[in-house]
Amino acid sequence: MEENVMLKLTDIHKSFFIGTPNEFEVLHGLDFSVKQGEFVSIVGASGSGKSTLMNIIGALDRPTSGDYVLDGVDVIKAHDNELSAIRNKKIGFVFQTYNLIARTNALKNIELPMLYAGVSASKRTARAKELLEMVGMTDRMHHNPDELSGGQKQRVAIARAMANNPAIILADEPTGALDSVTGRHIMDIFHELHEKQGKTIILITHSPELSRETQRIITLKDGSIISDEPGRTVSTQGAIEEEVTEC
C-alpha cells in the first residue's frame, strides 16, 4: 500500500434491488484513494451517486462489491459492531441538517461520541470544553440545540465530529442550510482543521465554488468518476473573501 494513504476504495460497485428481477447499479466500480492530510471534495449533481458513496465512505452502508480500507482497517470485513466502532473512532460526521440531539445541550452533544467510545466522564467534559473553545462556542455550552442559530449548531456539530479525533472528517453539504456569510465561517473552520491540525477532510457538495477551495476535486456523474483534478488551494481568509466578491 502506498505511503500515507488514509483511505483506499477499489472497484466499488453498489446496486439496489428495485424489485426482482431488476437491479439498479448506482456506482459502477469506483477507484480512488485519499492521502493523509488531504482536503478532498466530491462533487456531482443529484443522482450522481455521491450520497451513496458518502454512505460507503462513512461506513453506514456496505458496497455490493469492492474493497475499502480506512486508516488500515478493512471496512468490508467488519461486523456490525465493528462498523459502529469505525464510525465512532475513525469518522467524524458533519451533516447538512446538523443532526444535534434535541433537548441535549451543546456540551452533552459533543460528549456523545466519547460516551459511546467509553471515555470517562471527566475526560469527556474536558475534551468537549476544549473543542467548544476551538469552534468559539464556549459561552453556549449549556444551550440546547433549539436555542442555537444554524451557524452555531454547525459549529457544535463540527466540534462533535472532532470528539474522538477521527481519521477523517466527512462533511455532507455542511453549508447547504446556511447563508453565505455563516457558510463562509464554517468553511474557514474546515480550512483551519486542515491546515493547523492536518485533518483529512472529505467534503461532499454539489457546489463547484465550494469544491474549488479544496486541494482536490473528484467529480461524479452517473455513478462514475469523470474527473479527478487538483483544486485551488486557498489558505488565507483574505484570498477567499476576494473570491467570494468576484463571484
What is the CB neighbour count within 10 angstroms for residue 181?
Answer: 9
Q: Which of 31, 30, 35, 28 is nearest to 6 (CA)?
A: 35
Q: Which of 157, 183, 184, 182 is nearest to 169 (CA)?
A: 157
In the bound state with other proteins, the residue whose beta carbon lies nearer, of 33 and 144, is 144
105 phi and psi, to 5 degrees?
-70, 170
User: What does the chain come to in residues?
Assistant: 247
Q: Give least dist CB 84 to other proteins, A.
A: 4
In the bound state with other proteins, the residue whose beta carbon lies nearer, of 33 and 95, is 95
In the bound state with other proteins, the residue whose beta carbon lies nearer, of 89 and 216, is 89
Nearby residues of 150 by Cβ (< 8 Å), 6 or more positions away = 98, 177, 178, 182
* 6 DSSP 8-state letter: E
Q: 49, 26 in Cβ contact below 8 A?
A: yes
In the bound state with other proteins, the residue whose beta carbon lies nearer, of 14 and 140, is 14
Q: Give least dist CB 232 to other proteins, A.
A: 31
Q: Give least dist CB 96 to other proteins, A.
A: 11
Using CB under 8 A, list all residues that contact other proteins.
55, 58, 60-61, 80-81, 84-85, 87-89, 93, 95, 99-104, 112-113, 115-118, 160, 164
Q: Give least dist CB 99 to other proteins, A.
A: 4
Q: Give least dist CB 32 to other proteins, A.
A: 21
In the bound state with other proteins, the residue whose beta carbon lies nearer, of 55 and 215, is 55
Q: Give least dist CB 103 to other proteins, A.
A: 5
What is the CB neighbour count within 10 angstroms for residue 134?
Answer: 18
In the bound state with other proteins, the residue whose beta carbon lies nearer, of 51 and 224, is 51
- Can you spell out the DSSP letters for 114-163? HHHHT--HHHHHHHHHHHHHHTT-GGGTT--GGGS-HHHHHHHHHHHHTT
CA torsion, points 44, 93, 184, 4, in degrees to nearest 10?
-80
Q: Give least dist CB 231 to other proteins, A.
A: 27
What is the per-residue burial (b if ≥16 Cβ within 10 Å, else e) of 84-116? ebbbbbbbbbbbbebebeeeebbbbbbbbbbee
In the bound state with other proteins, the residue whose beta carbon lies nearer, of 102 and 247, is 102
